[in-house]
Amino acid sequence: MRHLIDTTDISVAEVDQIISTALDIIAHREKYAEACKGKKLATLFYEPSTRTRLSFTSAMMELGGSVLGFSDAASSSVSKGETVADTVRVLGCFADIIAMRHSKEGAPLVASHYSRVPVINAGDGSHAHPTQTLTDLLTIRREKGRLDNLTIGFCGDLKFGRTVHSLIKALSRYEGINVVLIAPEELRLPSYIRREVCDKNNIPTREVTTMEEVLPELDILYMTRVQKERFLDEEEFERLKDSFILNPERMKAAKPDMIVLHPLPRVNEITRDVDNDPRAAYFRQVENGKFVRMALIYTLLKWAEEQPVEGETPRLRGEEMHNDWQCSGRQCISNAEDVDKLFHPTEDGEYRCAYCESKVKK
Ligand code: ASP
């Protein structure tokens, strides 16, 4: 059974296939109007979401399928203490495919170990958001005509911004990618991504603290919001929340064909008067999200038909099970629910948690 938990669960060729399907859907909407007729999508959203949940909902509706689920944890059995594993076992009896958002990192991975239908990670804590990445890739393809030979600047909260983590992983598989990280010291990209994704794949990566010094060289500026809900210290959030603000004055320094992306919601980091600049691609990006989710649901359901259910087998891919170890991640599902503790060895001889990538607590 194929799931989409992390961007790299699907190969570059499969990403291309999903993007081509999305482009075909855009060109021939009527052809797909009944493509998932009789199929049901369950949206299990344990954490607030507007566009991702509704994007999944409208994607399934446009494929002729139907949707069930919940939009906050309080209205689900989790409020009675049900585990993620049990919830997906139950939901697999009602639905053909599941999209899950959870504040605990690794919850969708746990779900995939117990589900008999495909599970899509719709965002887990500050860890990953692979369907936003597919959205970003489709947008880049449509706006720039390619996914290689690009200089992309990531600006804002690179520490907690899960969309940044997933997109960097995805882009590291293409040729000629240059990454510029624009963040205050406190919100720098997690070092494991810098080391194990950028450095390992020889991606030229630069860290700067102001937008001005790099804007003229960027093909893409990926703006992000400072993730208020992930801060423990409200004062620190207040101090950092307006670290970077993109405005028309700053846009003057950018290339005429640079595009501005943002996973939304926007708070203050892009002023409203940038919206009419043709380079502001963030609302076009939202629409691409629906098309790429249609392509993903369609593809995963097709793969599920072709592959038999394997039963409850954790997909161990080089991970080791050490139930006597503990992950150091504050938001890790393995510290919240009774799950098998899985770790993978890193090149520097350490171990990191398979659910959230944090180090082992010694
Ligand atoms: N919508 C994106 C996410 O769910 C970005 C954000 O919330 O800032 O991660």
Q: Could you report the per-residue pLDDT of 126-173, keeping only the tens digit for each?
A: 999 999 999 999 999 999 999 999 999 999 999 999 999 999 999 999
Atom of ligand 1 nearest to the CA of 51: 1
What is the Å distance from ligand 1's center to 51 Cα?
A: 9
Q: Is residue 284 within 8 Å of 56, Cβ to Cβ?
A: no
What is residue 361's predicted lDDT score, i.e. its pLDDT? 82
User: Where exactly does CATH 3.40.50.1370 map onto the chain?
Assistant: 7-129+287-306, 141-282
Reply yes or no on domain 320-361 having CATH 2.30.30. Answer: yes
The whole-angstrom separation of Cα 128 and Cα 165 is 6
126 Cα: distance to centroid of ligand 1 (angstroms): 9
Question: Is 163 close to ligand 1, i.e. is its CB under 6 Å away?
Answer: yes
Binding site membership of 108 for ligand 1 (Cβ less than 6 Å): no
Q: What is the pLDDT of residue 122?
A: 98
Sheet holding 220-223, edge to edge: 205-208, 177-182, 150-155, 220-223, 259-261
Q: Helix axis angle, 130-144 relative to 162-171, nearest 10°?
A: 60
CATH homologous superfamily of 141-282: Aspartate/ornithine carbamoyltransferase (3.40.50.1370)
7 CA → ligand 1 middle, Å:
16
Fold of 7-129+287-306: Rossmann fold (3.40.50)
Q: What is the pTM of this model?
A: 0.96
From first to last of its 362 residues, what are the pLDDT tens digits of the chain? 899 999 999 999 999 999 999 999 999 999 999 999 999 999 999 988 888 999 999 999 999 999 999 888 776 667 778 999 999 999 999 999 999 999 999 999 999 999 999 999 999 999 999 999 999 999 999 999 999 999 999 999 999 999 999 999 999 999 999 999 999 999 999 999 999 999 999 999 999 999 999 999 999 999 999 999 899 899 999 999 988 999 999 999 999 999 999 999 999 999 999 999 999 999 999 999 999 999 999 999 999 999 866 655 556 677 899 999 999 999 999 999 999 999 999 888 889 999 999 999 87
The alpha carbon of 357 and the centre of ligand 1 are apart by a number of angstroms equal to 19
What is the C-alpha to C-alpha distance for residues 169 and 151, in angstroms, rounded to an integer? 15
- State the amino acid at position 111 in one-letter form: A
- All CATH 2.30.30 domain ranges in the chain, comma separated: 320-361
163 CA distance to ligand 1 centroid (A)? 7
| Cα distance between residue 194 and residue 116, in whole Å | 35
Residues 291/25, Cβ–Cβ less than 8 Å: yes
- Best substitution site from 224, 264, 269, 282 to test ligand 1's pocket, by max atoms within 8 Å of Cβ? 264
